[in-house]
Amino acid sequence: MSLVVLNFILALSACADKDRAPLIHPAASPAAEQARWNKEDIAIRAVGTLPEGKLIVKPMSQAVAAPLGAPSCYGQETDLRWSGHYEAWWESTSEGGSSKVSEFPDDFEIVQQSEAPTPMQHFQLGGIDILAYVPRYTDCHGLETYFFGVKEGKAFPLKLMLNDGQIVPQISQIPHRSLQIQSEELVLTGGFGAGQEFVDVYHFQYDARQQLLIVASKEKVKYNDLIFDE
């Protein structure tokens, strides 16, 4: 008799489980999911290494890092984006110690594919070493690019003088086309916007007296004629 009662109870329990609505966990909002991944960061984000020392990019205080969040021409979903107050510092090998070289704008952002510090591009021009820093590895139209000079163990920001005499702290270069040194000139292909048929190709020379990269010439090249990096 007890066995019959037990089977009856089990059957009732099975029916109750079948009729019970499944438990649904509410999905987190995109903002909540982004906030969950946000984290403070004090790490070095870029390094340019020379025998005389190294130039580093680091936050003045804690910066914030988060995934980019959605794939686009600005990067992949899993890329990381940093924002905060960043500065460039020179760490001297010969003299020891470190000194601030420059500050980046308040709206400065970094987008890279990993947390590893980004290596700066190094080349020589006009008797000095030049380090080029690109905070975002890709972009829809142009990559923000900063230059720093190093001479006799000292580092300094290298601004650029354009054709109209305007002096700017950085310049936009087209993605996937590397900087080049040709005939003692830095050759840089400017950014590209929707509807443009031609792109500006700048030839810069180094002016030691003013510590500037000055446009020596500029040519317009058809976008379809450009040769991009592999």
Q: What is the pLDDT of residues 61-109, one digit of tens each?
A: 879 999 988 888 889 999 999 999 999 999 999 888 899 999 999 889 9
Q: Residue 196 and residue 36: Cα distance in Å, rounded? A: 40
Considering only residues 95 and 221, tell me which one the structure prediction assigns the higher pLDDT.
Answer: 221
Residue 176 has pLDDT above 80, yes or no: yes
Q: Residue 154 and residue 122: Cα distance in Å, rounded? A: 15
Mean pLDDT over the full length of the chain: 86
User: For the segment 11-38, what is each residue's pLDDT rounded down to a tens digit?
Assistant: 445 444 444 444 434 444 444 444 545 6
C-alpha 116: how far from its chain's center? 12
pLDDT value for 202: 98
**117 and 135 Cβ atoms separated by less than 8 Å:** no
Q: What is the largest CA-CA distance in the chain?
A: 106
C-alpha 72: how far from its chain's center? 15
Kindly tell me the sign of the dihedral angle through the C-alpha atoms of 141, 180, 106, 29: positive
pLDDT value for 143: 96
Sequence ranges of the domains in the chain: 30-225
